[in-house]
Amino acid sequence: MTQTTLALALAGFSFLLTVIWGPPLLRVLRNFKMGEMIRMEGPERHFSKLGTPTMGGVMIVLPVAMITILLNAASLIGPTEVLGNSVLLPLGVFILFSLIGVADDWEGLRGRRRGEGMRARTKFILQLIVAFGASYGLYHFLDSPHLYMPGFNIDFRVGLWYFPIAMFLIVGFSNAVNLTDGLDGLAGMISATAFVAYGGIAVLQGQVFLARFCFTLVGALFGFLWFNVHPAQLFMGDTGSLGLGATLAVVALMTGQWAVLPIIAIIPVSITLSVIIQVSYFKITKRLYGEGRRVFKMTPLHHHFELSGWSETQVVQRFWLISLMSAMIGVALSVA
């Protein structure tokens, strides 16, 4: 079996596992009344989603963790390596950031801060701690390439600057994908596209174990989308989005091709910038004119287009088409 065939087989197996255990998870979430709360200032069509089960990211994390751990266990007792210990770092980041998301979702739904979730400062500190641990592992244990620039087949060494850069990317993209998770299927489709792109880059670099991990994640994301496409039966919540964004950044860092990450993940980047621009402009105009003004009708960016007349399905499909084109451009630049 070729390396690419095995990677695709893992994607298919992960997809089947996720689809099979989806209905039992839905029943558990409904029994615990883990229903989504909707922003009252948002588009009116979203009010019908009130009470839809969230924390669906568990549906993605468990199959990926099970497959990755089992294959690494097989590599210890078998005659050949099946997966490679290098993928334990992105798996660990995926699980730890997902646990932060679980705590945030639970706090917002059943905890003391219902409707708000974990305090932003607490969540940010936890993210920084895990991001530092991941950066240390990438730098000292995996000896990952520091930076490949498009058009140069040279590993540019950035020295100790690697730590703040890596931490910024991990925490930044964790929150960027979290902001993207606002419409049925949007975050899942965008994340799957990005992981396919980096899985392809890993194959071209000969990092077969990382490629297999990426495609295992893609299979689980497709299985999740089975239940998350419009009209969604459940949402991934912070449980899924925080882990997916952080893991995407780690995978990009492991390939050294993080310079093209803003291109491959153009939708999460654009959505995050829309929030930064909106908040900054509102605060500046409030100081200058005594009344805050807005650039967009509503942020994150996908809600602006909804309030501009696009249907939810149009926003998701058009954003995904942009993401697909950007991912192809990013992969092309990485091999230029």
Return d(Cα 52, Cα 36) in angstroms, integer: 5
What is the residue-level pLDDT of the chain in tens, covering all 336 positions? 566 788 888 999 999 999 998 899 888 888 876 665 555 555 656 655 676 888 889 999 999 999 999 887 766 555 445 556 689 999 999 999 999 999 998 888 866 766 677 898 999 999 999 999 999 999 998 888 999 998 888 889 999 999 999 999 999 999 999 999 989 999 999 999 999 999 999 999 989 899 999 999 999 999 999 999 988 889 999 999 999 999 999 999 999 999 999 999 999 999 999 999 999 999 999 999 989 999 999 999 999 999 999 999 999 999 999 999 999 999 999 987
Which residues share a beta bridge with 148? Answer: 155
Report domain extents, the chain.
3-260
Return d(Cα 208, Cα 77) in angstroms, integer: 20
Range 140-168 burial, b when 16+ CB lie within 10 A, else e: eeeebbbbbbeeeeeeeeeeeebbebbbe
What pLDDT score was predicted for residue 336? Answer: 75
Cβ proximity of 190 and 180 under 8 Å: yes
Cβ proximity of 297 and 308 under 8 Å: yes
Which residues share a beta bridge with 155? Answer: 148
What pLDDT score was predicted for residue 188? Answer: 96
The set of residues, in sequence order, having a beta carbon less than 8 Å from that of 328 and lying 6+ positions away, is 197
Which residues share a beta bridge with 53? Answer: 35
